[in-house]
Amino acid sequence: MDIHKLLKTLTETPGPSGYEDQIAAVIEELWQPCVDTITRDRVGSLIATKRATKNGRTPPRRILLAAHMDEIALMVRDVEEHNGNGFLRVTSIGGVDTRQVFGQLVVVHGRKNLTGVVGCLPARLLPEEKQDKPFDFEDLLVDVGLPIETVNNQISIGDFISFRQPLLKLMNKRVAGKSLDNRASVAAVTVCLEQLRQRQHAWEVIAVATAQEETRLLGAYTTAFALQPDAAIAIDVTFGKGPGANEHVTHELGGGPALDLGPNVHTGMFNALKATAEELELNINIETHQRASGTDAHGLQIARAGIPTAIVAIPLRYMHTMVESVALKDIERAGRLLAEFIVGLDEEFLGKLAKGMMEEESKQ
Amino acid sequence: MNDLIKKLVEAYGPSGFEDQMRALIRPEIEKYADEISVDALGNLIAHKKGDGSGLKVMVAAHMDEIGVMITHITEEGFCRFTNIGGVYSHTLLGGRVQFADGRIGVIHSDRITDRSKIYGLDKHFIDVGANGRDDCPVQVGDAAGFHREFVVNGKMLSAKSMDDRIGCVVAIEAMKRLKQTPHDVYFVFSVQEEIGTRGAEAAANHLDPDVGIALDVTTTGDVPEAIPMAVSLGKGTAIKVKDAGMIAHHGLVQLMKKRASEASIPYQLEVLTGGSTDARSIQIANGGAAAGCISIPCRYVHSQSETVHADDVENSIKLLVELLAKPMEL
Amino acid sequence: MNELLKNLTEAVGVSGEEKEIRRIIRDLIADHVDEWHVDTMGSLIALKKGTGASPLRVMVDAHMDEVGLMVTGFDSNGTLKFDTVGGFDDRTLLGKVVQVGSEKVTGVIGGRPVHLSTPAQRNSVVKVDAMRIDIGAKNEDAAKGKVKLGDRAAFVTAYEELGATAVAKAFDNRAGCAALVELLRARPYPFDLYAAFTVQEEVGLRGAQAAAYGIDPDAALVLECTPAYDLPNKNDVSPNVALGKGPSIYVMDSITVQDPRLVRHILQTAVTHNIPYQIRQPGGGGTNTGAIQRTRRPIPAATIAVPGRYAHTPTMMINLDDYAHVVKLAQLTLQGLTTEIVKRN
């Protein structure tokens, strides 16, 4: 599987939170050959089911893989006329870092797609107290270079705006671009589904490209509730070692996916994934979180009576910028780890998880 | 309609203490509902049956209002208090509150040494006319809403709790006007919105709707030095696209725009950068719902003079009726 | 699609390292000039012989360098330290794509992720020294295998037209270069015209100074791209110039007063031929006129500029009608330039 080509398609397709139709269609086409059914739910998540291919329990146990497909973006909050031209005032969708949007290219999803640039008055023309600050959304604007009549005709308040950055090849089989958070994980799930085609597995696999993770983990909460899986894995990105991030716990790009440990993760799931990685002699890192993990796992874990949940994370540099970068190798490894883990799931798995919990309980 | 508005906005009902509101609203809607129930949290739920061809739609307008709760009574009989919902001290001085029994208290603050500063709630107190702690008719734990007369200035309507009694009015009027609907519609007069959209969350959990529509106020950008926002008073009902808590269902937004255009109902598109509504809770409940919000533009939200425009109220009612009377393709 | 603007803006030529853009311009003009050479500074000087009607020597200048970055060091983890070449607002750089060195190695400019930043950090401008260029190298040695100390880096933006406007990097001053190329492709002028595609404007107008000395013209015209601030603004201040309102004529900048006789001639030409124009707000900024005017006798000079929004960012914007009007105005200005205009009694 050509992961670069896959990522190019995935990252260059727009999918702002709440506006995931286009990216969902692309993912549907990618997953279709590997799965048995594929649908979208009320909030926009894409849900694909691959039936068990090995005899086992009826109905089979089910594992849910959640990788969010939405991306941070902007939204038009007002249209302003100046000198006969139309300018867009915008607000952010998800955690947009305002320090890095000035001078970026965007696509305004109006009646048709329009190219725009994020501009601002020069700092010296701003109020004095703002001159040494990052530009904020009160002053930043999107300029589509068109007269006000055309702008009013094509664009309205509430239109979504996605960032535009073609995928770039860096050295060392790394790539950089926009929305690798979290299309890198969508790619990993795609790798997993592709590998499972040739393999026998006793558990049913539900692959979900969740909607609106960047704003409120929406798809994780709703799909886990609706589908009631027996176990779940959130696949997301984590901080790569690199400029500005070295003093934090971060992971080398190309050093393997990170398995997350913390309150959003079932320790038994973590151990099982770790054991699978060790059997495969596959490089992994161990990641920790102390409160909320900031991933879909936060929503998956707490659905209904609770779901044993794990996090597989792909190290990524410059999160929430247009130059997020990852190592292709880590995506391939994450996909392979997921596939092998699923192949190894048997009827005893849930029992072992429960037993693990009981033993931990009785030790205390 | 102003009589109904006056009745609702002047009534007592801080979050968690909505009994009086429920008693006021119930008789207004009884004739127009197929079934009325009250759930364990206190949500008043009116079910209007569809013809079976439509969706299950939850419409939510919250009955509760922001207010205060007494935390301590001083030796001299003054009441210290905390906030219920978003109450800010710069809106308080000289204001009045009403308790469940109709008792009125006046708000003042400790001695002000620096007039350029805004003091916290803990530096404020309520005087209910008591001579001392033992004499005080109010107890720790008593809740109060604000007290302010409804004012009509031409088409501008001002009151203490337009947020969200005006949403309740929109729901009640829509129930009256909605002759037939393909949808199973549940009008929920929800509780505890101001402390975290808790009533709507509970209602959505047990009603499990396909579609959720909140009726609530939104701020405007048409007053001096406002936070920039493209919503003005009197320019139409506001269709929410996004607020700080959620992004409305894209298909539902498109449908609202379409229905408004078809019926020549003036509307504005709302992108709100602070605050959220009951729709936020409905969207994420259970397996999720297509959620949106019809907003009534409102100046001075969370002050004691929240102001709306009569035309916007009327247009919000019309849009809701249009939406509910026709099929929803999402 | 204006291929000339596309080719010129997408080419690389950071101040002091203008080889690539020079080669491209040379190929574009070689067939339309009588001779050309590259001077010691690196400027491309071309002669287009006149009809012989006028004894003047006229220089037309357009700087071909652009603002960019320079690699100043290597981190052990393979990222590159850098500094800016030319005037930058630090707010321009974070999250941008660059091409490094003559091999055009792709790099991205990164810094601390927003999630790992404190509120105070999020509310402060990230300074250049806290950013790095990341080419994907695993370590210092791998980076050094691809990139050398002192390599220049330029933005990467594909030229794109949006109706009457266009977006690209380096319109400052490839728009001026393109206009000069068009002037050379036109029929001969009454006098010998020396086209100077100069270097190092962005670091102090240096190429033009040497070029003017070498050419020793009687008059000079500078073609530029000047910042337009015609954005919504609460304050009632001048936008410097605005897009779509025609060529901008300099009268005075922070360095010099443009030659009033030439300015008058340019304005008269515009009026006569019904070409829209705007006076650039007098005051700040500066063009090669400032350097040319203090060379030798000295040399009278003036500037015609294409207005451009978002100067010194990867996404500048110009209006294509303004550009066409600059070409036309420059051409007519030159055709009408006589000895009398620049004669001093």
CA distance C266 to C273: 11
What's the average model confidence in pLDDT over B103-126? 94
Specify the domain boundaries for CATH 2.40.30.40 within chain A: 73-163
Write out pLDDT tens, residues C165-192.
999 999 999 999 999 999 999 999 999 9
Has residue C36 been placed in a domain? yes
CA distance A7 to A23: 12
Residue A112 clears pLDDT 90, i.e. is over it? yes
- Residue C105 belongs to domain with CATH number: 2.40.30.40
Same-domain pairing of C112 and C190: no
Average pLDDT score over chain C: 94
Domains of chain B: 2-65+160-325 (3.40.630.10), 67-146 (2.40.30.40)
Percent of chain B with pLDDT over 90: 99
Residue at which a domain ends, from C103, C120, C155 = C155
Top-confidence residue, C238 or A26: A26
CA distance B245 to B17: 25
Nearest neighbour of A157 by CB, restricted to B248, B271, B283: B271
How close, in Å, is residue A142 to chain B by CA atoms? 15
Q: How many CB atoms lie within 10 A of CB B116?
A: 5
Same-domain pairing of C309 and C198: yes
- What's the number of CA atoms in the CB half-sphere (13 Å) around residue A41? 28
Write out pLDDT tens, residues B173-223.
999 999 999 999 999 999 999 999 999 999 999 999 999 999 999 999 999
Within 8 A of A43 by CB-CB distance, chain B residues are 249, 283, 288-290
Write out pLDDT tens, residues A204-245.
999 999 999 999 999 999 999 999 999 999 999 999 998 888
Has residue C49 been placed in a domain? yes
What's the average model confidence in pLDDT over C80-108? 94
Has residue C161 been placed in a domain? no
Asked whether B and C share 3 or more beta-carbon pairs under 8 angstroms, the answer is no
Same-domain pairing of C107 and C202: no
Give the total residue count for chain C: 345
pLDDT category at C235 given cuts 50, 70, 90 is confident
Nearest neighbour of B242 by CB, restricted to A75, A221, A222: A75
**Substitution target from A43, A217, A223, A302 for chain B, most B beta carbons within 10 A:** A43
- pLDDT value for C138: 94
Query: Are A190 and A30 in contact, with CB atoms under 8 Å apart?
Result: yes
What's the average model confidence in pLDDT over C99-118? 92
Q: 């930058």: which residue's tokens? A: C88
Write out pLDDT tens, residues C246-269.
999 999 988 889 999 999 999 999
Query: Are B298 and B225 in contact, with CB atoms under 8 Å apart?
Result: no
Same-domain pairing of C217 and C140: no
Token digits of residue C165: 């406007």
pLDDT category at C345 given cuts 50, 70, 90 is low
Q: Domain count of chain C?
A: 2
Has residue C163 been placed in a domain? no
- pLDDT value for A193: 98
Please name the residues between 238 and 267 in chain B that touch chain A, using a CB distance below 8 Å: 239, 241-242, 245-250, 253
Residue A359 clears pLDDT 90, i.e. is over it? no
Instruction: State the fold for domain A73-163.
Output: Elongation Factor Tu (Ef-tu); domain 3 (2.40.30)
Q: How many CB atoms lie within 10 A of CB B134?
A: 9
Write out pLDDT tens, residues B139-155.
999 999 999 999 999 99
Within 8 A of C132 by CB-CB distance, chain A residues are 242-243
What's the average model confidence in pLDDT over C58-74? 96
Residue C239 clears pLDDT 90, i.e. is over it? no
Give the total residue count for chain A: 364
Residue A109: helix, strand or coil by DSSP?
A: strand
Token digits of residue C283: 């005051």
Same-domain pairing of C194 and C316: yes
Asked whether B and A share 3 or more beta-carbon pairs under 8 angstroms, the answer is yes
What's the average model confidence in pLDDT over B288-297? 98
In sequence order, the β-bridge partners of residue B309 are: B156
- Residue C20 belongs to domain with CATH number: 3.40.630.10
Same-domain pairing of C52 and C94: no
Tell me what ipTM this predicted complex has: 0.88
Q: Which segment, A2-16, B109-123, C119-133, C275-289, is predicted with the most confidence on average?
A: A2-16
Residue C26: helix, strand or coil by DSSP?
A: helix
Tell me what percent of chain C is helix, strand and coil, each rounded to the nearest 5: 30, 25, 45
Nearest neighbour of C123 by CB, restricted to A83, A134, A245: A134
Domain that holds residue C133: 68-155
- pLDDT value for C231: 95
Same-domain pairing of C51 and C90: no
Where does residue C298 rank: exposed (0-12), middle (13-18), buried (19+ CB within 10 A)?
exposed
Specify the domain boundaries for CATH 3.40.630.10 within chain A: 3-71+178-363
Write out pLDDT tens, residues A295-310.
999 999 999 989 999 9
Same-domain pairing of C73 and C58: no
Which candidate in B193, B194, B201, B270 is catalytic?
A: B193
Q: 């151990």: which residue's tokens? A: A271
Within 8 A of B280 by CB-CB distance, chain A residues are 216
Where does residue C223 rank: exposed (0-12), middle (13-18), buried (19+ CB within 10 A)?
buried
Quote the DSSP letter at residue B245: S
Please report the number of interchain residue pairs, chain A to chain B, with beta-carbon separation below 8 angstroms.
89
Write out pLDDT tens, residues A32-68.
999 999 999 999 999 999 999 998 889 999 999 999 9
Same-domain pairing of C58 and C74: no
Residue A363 clears pLDDT 60, i.e. is over it? no
Same-domain pairing of C296 and C177: yes
Query: Are B23 and B38 in contact, with CB atoms under 8 Å apart?
Result: no
Query: Are C201 and C63 in contact, with CB atoms under 8 Å apart?
Result: yes
Has residue C132 been placed in a domain? yes
Residue A360 clears pLDDT 70, i.e. is over it? no
Residue A333: helix, strand or coil by DSSP?
A: helix
For residue C71, CA distances in Å to A108, A358, C86, C145, C177 come to 35, 58, 14, 14, 27
Q: 């694909």: which residue's tokens? A: A48
Residue B330 clears pLDDT 90, i.e. is over it? no
Residue B259: helix, strand or coil by DSSP?
A: helix
Residue B285 clears pLDDT 90, i.e. is over it? yes
Query: Are C264 and C337 in contact, with CB atoms under 8 Å apart?
Result: no
- pLDDT value for A361: 58
Identify the closest residue of chain C to A170 by CA–CA distance.
C136
Is A317 at the interface with chain C, CB within 8 A?
yes
Has residue C258 been placed in a domain? yes
Within 8 A of C130 by CB-CB distance, chain A residues are 243-244
Same-domain pairing of C45 and C75: no
Has residue C164 been placed in a domain? no
Q: 């146990």: which residue's tokens? A: A61
Same-domain pairing of C18 and C101: no
For residue C156, CA distances in Å to A232, C10, C106, C107, C200 come to 41, 7, 9, 10, 20
Residues of C with a catalytic annotation lie at: 201
Residue A354 clears pLDDT 90, i.e. is over it? no
Nearest neighbour of B228 by CB, restricted to A43, A78, A219: A78
Tell me what percent of chain B is helix, strand and coil, each rounded to the nearest 5: 25, 30, 45
CATH architecture of structural domain A3-71+178-363: 3-Layer(aba) Sandwich (3.40)
Nearest Cα neighbor of C179 from C333, C73, C20 is C333
